[in-house]
Amino acid sequence: MQNPVIILGAQKLGTTALDIFNSNSVIVYCFLDDSQQLQQEEINNVAVMSNTEDNEFLKLVGKKCDVFVAVEDTAARKGLIKMLKDEHKVVPVNAIHRFSAVSEFAWLGHGNMVGAGAVINNNAKVGDNCIIQSRALVDTKAEIANFVEIGAGAIINSEVIVEEGAFIGSGAVIVSGVKIGKNARIGAGSVVVADVPAKATVFGNPAAPIK
């Protein structure tokens, strides 16, 4: 990656993305964030220049700068990614920490965040705009759909399927071959030994539904 990066979002995900780009000696041009309290401030030595829809900065994207979307709210993140694609004909770059391990035989889409110490093993597939936090493991032949969030230290074992929008809490373990449905939520530290339906929330060891 040769171009500087503009990060949309200057809060927790944004600062994590900055750390990831710094680990690879990639220059971050600026943050854009919709919080007026943050605008014109500096966060970790990078200025928050304006809001996330400021065309004076977004017109640089795809020409002089790359872009990464790091806003916390998933719906807002989806909206910004759609805007970038529709209006500026660009997609976000991947933010992959220098000290992560991504197999050359893994497949990644675009706009993904891969934290320090995370591992993506051979023949795993990760879609677009996923968040894989520090020390998480995505094992061989696991399939992760778009907009999935995997918490720190979570283990996605081999041949697991995680559908779009699912959330896997920190330290959770998903046993090999299990399917996690669309927009399902897995509580932190849970051990999932059976398929989880779409939109369900499960917690515990073994994980059970929360009504």
Q: What is the pLDDT of residues 113-169, one digit of tens each?
A: 999 999 999 999 999 999 999 999 999 999 999 999 999 999 999 999 999 999 999
Whether residue 211 has pLDDT greater than 80: no
Question: Within a 10 A sphere around the Cβ of 159, how many other Cβ atoms?
Answer: 16
Structural domains of the chain, count = 2
Whether residue 2 has pLDDT greater than 90: no
Q: How far apart are CA 165 and CA 40, in angstroms?
A: 33
Host domain of residue 56: 5-92
What percent of the chain shows pLDDT beyond 90? 94
pTM over the 0.85 mark:
yes
**Burial profile 33-44: b = 16 or more Cβ within 10 angstroms, e = fewer:** bbeeebbeeebe
98 and 159 in a common domain? yes
- HEC string for 141-168: CCEECCCCEECCCCEECCCCEECCCCEE
Question: Would you say 27 and 45 are in contact if contact means Cβ atoms under 8 Å apart?
Answer: no
Instruction: List binding-site positions.
Output: 33-34
Position 155 in a domain? yes
DSSP assignment, residue 27? P
Whether residue 1 has pLDDT greater than 90: no
Instruction: List binding-site positions for substrate.
Output: 33-34
106 and 187 in a common domain? yes
pLDDT tens-digit map of 61-72: 988 999 999 999
